[in-house]
Amino acid sequence: MSLEKLLLPQSVAIIGASRVQGKVGYEIVSNILSGGFTGPVHPVNPKADEILGLECFPSVAAIGGPVDLAVICLPSPAVDKTILECGKAGIRAAIVITAGFKEIGEEGRKLEDRLVRTARQAGVRILGPNCLGLISTHVNLNASFAPLMPRQGSIAMISQSGALIAGILDKAQEGKIGFSYVVSVGNKAELDEEELLRAFAADPKTRVIAGYIENITEGEKFLRTAERVVPEKPVVLVKAGSTAAGTKAAFSHTGSLAGSEAAYECAFRRSGIIRAASIEDLFDLAQAFAEQPLPIGRRIAVITNAGGPGIMAADACEKANLTFRVLSESAVQKLQEVLPAAASTNNPVDVLGDADETRYENTLRIVMSDEGVDAALVLLTPQAMTHPAETAEAIARVYREVRKTVLVSFIGSKLVEGGIEILRENGIPQFPSPERAARALQAMADYVDWCSQPPRVIHRIPTHRVRVEKTIRRHRALGQTEVGEQAAKDILEAYGFIVPESILARNVDEARSAAERIGYPVVIKIASQDISHKSDVGGVRVGLENEEELIDGFELMMLRIQRKLPEARLDGVTVQEMKAGGREVIIGMTRDPQFGPLLVFGLGGIHVEVLKDVAFELAPITEEEACAMIERTKTFKLLRGVRGEKGVDTDTIAESLRRISQLSVDFPEILELDINPLKVTGTEAIAVDGRIRLCAD
């Protein structure tokens, strides 16, 4: 494993160790000792001879012996020099607990940048700064200022909030949740979640990687790593909501629709990261993955001693897309032999309110041995004849024999406490409600599905790339970042889009002959680099049937807009072929600063920003992903036609999405792109409007 000196150190120095109880430098020494770390522990403090019974050294150099890991709790200006000293003394890893870096503003940022440079020079890897520290249970190391040492286990936890770790450890104590590592990443100046992910993927003691993150530092790199790691180990993350990128003046519809949340959502889906809804959910899922074998399929059986919870479980399983199996004939027969006549031998199997541990045990054994059952969910409510503790023992016995996924929900509190304790000792996840158990099973089944999906294949579509290069170069040479409708459509056409025939007309005569060429009815639109949303200023007239209407329309449009926007530079109008009929959808792209091109699809027209019925996906996309994106929206049903309406061809939309996917991958200069609307008929998709924004340099 890389990062071995950090994660599994054999010896530790605490630089800035203190004799004063309550100070971080004291608490860390105290936690390392009480955690039971077996290697040498060296406090460093020039003003002390001894701390907590340990010999104290005046400097790192004075220690003499080898040190794997330094824990630094000095004031921020002193950290830099200390890292150099660590490097000289051969220490290759350091945890910087100290705060007062990037999180305090510009001054701190400078200090942090310097710290990173120094660390690289000195060859010291650093965790933090501004972090709570690290717990590594397999070497009994609690190098943090959280006083609780969790039990050994196979969950590796990464947290961007130190304070949250303290809470999690407290909770874990009660739930007997075991960890391999708990890492507080702090400001992530040098070591970030991506590298930890790689380290944990390679670590034999870790089965599942859990995390609380607020932001990801290098999105695309993280994504690539996650894609590699997830098939080996499940990764479950809670992502705290960040403010949407809505504050920036939105140039395109796509830009205003996509907050940064959408990009995270897509990144997680793409890489198979399981997103937990809350800390509670995070531990439900992490525990299920850590303790139980993965189910080979989605077929689930429920055993219960009460009707109500059985129904709740059945509902929850259905919502979770799990298959509620009818048990095999032989299983039903065997159940009839061991259960009273009044019991239900159908799934959910109702063992009745007076079921004791033997009845539970016999039933569970039969159900779990059924070839058609991939996982069992055992429910229990404490009734007069119920023995929760003995039943828990019985469940554990069957689980040890059959080794299939089994999750349990003992519903209650005091009466079921003893039973829950036994389940935990036996590595059987216990959930307070059938819904939470079903949710955990769903995550496991989804993960299995995800791991067995075929590799993604991106097919390239032939396009006129050079034509786009030229158009972009021309705009950039003129310092124009906004590509107006005409040129945007030219780019789209080069990437295979159908666009209505269109001619620029600078005056009414030109408009007349353009319309003549195109043929009535026509559409006219204002042509101006200063106007981006044309309808808003009365800059679009559709369905002009003849010359008279065209002349009227032209003159009125010019007059109105000149009056409304006297500053705007007007080039005239574009006269366009009228494309009647079809449905209007929006497709577009906005470049996410972390994850790159984010594609959008949704219902088009003026209501898009109100209804927000949109789906996102990161480019590049496969054919399947393009179709799935469309199917995720409610618009999809409308497009397919409701109540006898004729539907439109959604495959052409999927293809259009793949075209803009390829365009945004081919041209990183394109920051935003909007086709609103894309008019879709029974057979084709036409880009009747387009706008593109380029980056400035």
Q: How far is the CB of 483 from ligand ADP (least distance, A)?
A: 13
Q: How far is the CB of 697 from Mg ion (least distance, A)?
A: 28
- Of the candidate residues 677, 685, 687, 692, the single one contacting ligand ADP (CB under 6 A): 677
Angstrom distance (rounded) from CA 617 to CA 588:
11
The DSSP H or E segment spanning 610 is helix 608-611
Q: How far is the CB of 676 from Mg ion (least distance, A)?
A: 4
Is the previous residue joined to 620 through a cis bond, with omega within 30 degrees of 0?
Answer: yes
Other CB atoms within a 10 A radius of the CB of residue 565 amount to 16
Question: Which CB, 670 or 686, lies closer to ligand ADP?
Answer: 686
Q: How far is the CB of 589 from ligand ADP (least distance, A)?
A: 17
Query: Any contact of residue 533 with ligand ADP (CB under 6 A)?
Result: yes
The DSSP H or E segment spanning 212 is strand 208-213
Q: How far is the CB of 687 from ligand ADP (least distance, A)?
A: 10
Angstrom distance (rounded) from CA 234 to CA 155:
10
CB burial of residue 690 (10 Å; 0-12, 13-18, 19+): buried
Question: Which CB, 169 or 544, lies closer to ligand ADP?
Answer: 544
Angstrom distance (rounded) from CA 257 to CA 268:
19
Other CB atoms within a 10 A radius of the CB of residue 473 amount to 11
**Residue 129 partner contact from ligand ADP, Mg ion, none using kind-dependent CB cut-offs of 5 to 8 Å:** none
Q: Which residues contact residue 64 at a Cβ distance below 8 angstroms, ignoring those fewer than 6 apart?
A: none
**Residue 523 partner contact from ligand ADP, Mg ion, none using kind-dependent CB cut-offs of 5 to 8 Å:** ligand ADP
Question: Which CB, 488 or 522, lies closer to Mg ion?
Answer: 488
Stretch that binds ligand ADP, among 80-88, 215-223, 406-414, 570-578 (CB under 6 A): 570-578
Q: Is the dihedral of CA 359, 364, 365, 366 positive or negative?
A: positive
Phi, psi values for residue 154, rounded to 5°: -120, 15
Q: How far is the CB of 586 from Mg ion (least distance, A)?
A: 8
Question: Which CB, 233 or 691, lies closer to Mg ion?
Answer: 691
- Of the candidate residues 540, 568, 628, 638, the single one contacting ligand ADP (CB under 6 A): 540
Q: How far is the CB of 604 from ligand ADP (least distance, A)?
A: 7
Q: Are strands 12-15 and 69-72 parallel, antiparallel or unpaired?
A: parallel
Q: Pick from 209, 207, 206: which is nearest to 222 by CA?
A: 209
Tokens of 405: 């996924």
Site string for ligand ADP, 314-353 (x = CB under 6 A): ----------------------------------------
Question: Which CB, 5 or 583, lies closer to ligand ADP?
Answer: 583
Angstrom distance (rounded) from CA 201 to CA 310:
38
Q: How far is the CB of 569 from ligand ADP (least distance, A)?
A: 16
**Residue 576 partner contact from Mg ion, ligand ADP, none using kind-dependent CB cut-offs of 5 to 8 Å:** ligand ADP
Query: Any contact of residue 689 with Mg ion (CB under 5 A)?
Result: yes
Angstrom distance (rounded) from CA 28 to CA 22:
10
Q: How far is the CB of 681 from ligand ADP (least distance, A)?
A: 11
Residue nearest to Mg ion (CB): 689
Q: Which of residues 360-389 bind ligand ADP (CB under 6 A)?
A: none
- Number of residues lying near Mg ion (CB under 5 A): 2
Q: Go through the chain and tell me how many residues it has.
A: 697
Q: How far is the CB of 542 from ligand ADP (least distance, A)?
A: 5
Query: Any contact of residue 576 with ligand ADP (CB under 6 A)?
Result: yes
Question: Which CB, 294 or 540, lies closer to ligand ADP?
Answer: 540
Angstrom distance (rounded) from CA 451 to CA 138:
29
**Residue 579 partner contact from Mg ion, ligand ADP, none using kind-dependent CB cut-offs of 5 to 8 Å:** ligand ADP
Q: How far is the CB of 653 from Mg ion (least distance, A)?
A: 16
Number of alpha carbons in the 13 Å side-chain half-sphere of residue 54: 24
Q: How far is the CB of 81 from Mg ion (least distance, A)?
A: 59
Stretch that binds Mg ion, among 96-104, 385-393, 453-461, 689-697 (CB under 5 A): 689-697
**Residue 137 partner contact from ligand ADP, Mg ion, none using kind-dependent CB cut-offs of 5 to 8 Å:** none
Site string for ligand ADP, 468-507 (x = CB under 6 A): --------------------------------x-------
Longest dimension (CA), the chain: 100
Q: How far is the CB of 544 from Mg ion (least distance, A)?
A: 18
- 3-class DSSP assignment, residue 589: strand
- Of the candidate residues 434, 689, 692, 693, the single one contacting ligand ADP (CB under 6 A): 689
The region that residue 643 occupies, defined by phi over 0 for left and psi between -120 and 50 for alpha, beta otherwise, is: left
Angstrom distance (rounded) from CA 7 to CA 56:
24
Stretch that binds ligand ADP, among 108-116, 146-154, 530-538, 554-562 (CB under 6 A): 530-538
Question: Which CB, 581 or 644, lies closer to ligand ADP?
Answer: 581
Q: How far is the CB of 607 from ligand ADP (least distance, A)?
A: 11
Dihedral, CA atoms, 537, 543, 546, 550, nearest 10 degrees? 10
Angstrom distance (rounded) from CA 279 to CA 211:
9
Q: Which of residues 293-322 bind Mg ion (CB under 5 A)?
A: none
Query: Any contact of residue 73 with ligand ADP (CB under 6 A)?
Result: no
What is the identity of the amino acid at 384?
A
- Of the candidate residues 359, 424, 489, 534, the single one contacting ligand ADP (CB under 6 A): 534
The DSSP output letter for 567 is T
The CA-CA-CA angle for residues 135, 138, 142, to 5°, reads 25
Beta bridge partners of 236: 210, 274
The CA-CA-CA angle for residues 83, 26, 6, to 5°, reads 40
Q: Which of residues 13-32 bind ligand ADP (CB under 6 A)?
A: none
Query: Any contact of residue 605 with ligand ADP (CB under 6 A)?
Result: yes
The DSSP H or E segment spanning 686 is strand 685-687
Query: Any contact of residue 82 with Mg ion (CB under 5 A)?
Result: no
Question: Which CB, 240 or 606, lies closer to ligand ADP?
Answer: 606
- Of the candidate residues 182, 205, 676, 678, the single one contacting Mg ion (CB under 5 A): 676
Question: Which CB, 510 or 623, lies closer to ligand ADP?
Answer: 510
Q: Which residues contact residue 416 at a Cβ distance below 8 angstroms, ignoring those fewer than 6 apart?
A: 380, 382, 388, 410
Question: Which CB, 212 or 497, lies closer to ligand ADP?
Answer: 497
The region that residue 500 occupies, defined by phi over 0 for left and psi between -120 and 50 for alpha, beta otherwise, is: beta
Phi, psi values for residue 37, rounded to 5°: -60, 135
Question: Which CB, 299 or 525, lies closer to ligand ADP?
Answer: 525
Query: Any contact of residue 76 with Mg ion (CB under 5 A)?
Result: no
- Number of residues lying near ligand ADP (CB under 6 A): 17
The DSSP output letter for 498 is B
Q: How far is the CB of 584 from ligand ADP (least distance, A)?
A: 6
Q: How far is the CB of 96 from ligand ADP (least distance, A)?
A: 52
Which residue in the block uniquely carries the two structure tokens 């965790």? 127
Query: Any contact of residue 578 with ligand ADP (CB under 6 A)?
Result: yes
- 3-class DSSP assignment, residue 647: coil
Measured in Å, how far apart are the chain's first and last C-alpha atoms? 41
List residues binding Mg ion (CB under 5 A).
676, 689
List residues binding ligand ADP (CB under 6 A).
500, 523, 525, 533-535, 540, 542, 576-579, 584, 605, 677, 688-689
